[in-house]
Amino acid sequence: MGKITVETCEIEGLKVITPTVFGDARGYFMETYHYNDYKAAGIPMEFVQDNQSASRRGVLRGLHFQIRYPQDKLVRVIAGEVFDVAVDLRKGSPTYGKWHGVILSAENKKQFLIPKNFAHGFLVLSEYAEFVYKCTDFYHPNDEGGIIWNDPDIGIAWPTAGLDLILSEKDQAWGGIRELK
């Protein structure tokens, strides 16, 4: 019970994880995280904090990262659907500045593993979405960095057609990847 399928992405370190879902006429059951299964799959991370947010259609959160206290994140959606994105910010990485996006939804139950030193963001595609994630370090409010969501040097292909985007003032004010120190 609790086995997972792990897909690697073209950017080293990023993984899309699909848990085994056991369903019948009553509904379903799945393990959303089991340390031993993740460790056996080469993901021996220990998570210390869980977070949850709710957003409406068109909300774009990100692109965020922690500067001195970077976090690995395991993200998923429990209601609705989002387009989730990670951008490689690892110094010296051959894929620095490259991005990968994945649709996460309550229906597909996929999870996205985002290692330390990646920027992260998501766009809500459904009328409403609840987004949950596990982190390997605690959130430090004075340690947050960001990159503007539409930086042309990164070129994320956000699926914005038909959406009225809603961003926080902070997320509208981030600079581009070239401005990172």
DSSP 149-173: TT-TTT------TT---B--HHHHH
pLDDT in tens, 54-103: 999 999 999 999 999 999 999 999 999 999 999 999 999 999 999 999 99
For residues 14-32, average pLDDT: 95
Contacts 24+ apart (CB under 8 A), 22-25: none
Has residue 131 got a pLDDT over 80?
yes
- CATH numbers and ranges of domains, the chain: 47-179 (2.60.120.10)
Q: Is the dihedral of CA 70, 76, 78, 79 positive or negative?
A: positive
Residues serving a catalytic function are: 64, 133
Spatial separation of the C-alpha atoms in residues 178 and 45, rounded to whole Å: 30
Using a pLDDT cut of 70, give the percent of the chain over it: 98
Predicted pLDDT of residue 75 = 98
**Which residue type, as a one-letter code, is found at position 138?**
F
pLDDT of residue 79: 98
Mean pLDDT, residues 161-180 taken together: 97
Q: Residue 67: its pLDDT value, please?
A: 96
Reported confidence tier of residue 2, pLDDT bands at 50, 70, 90:
low
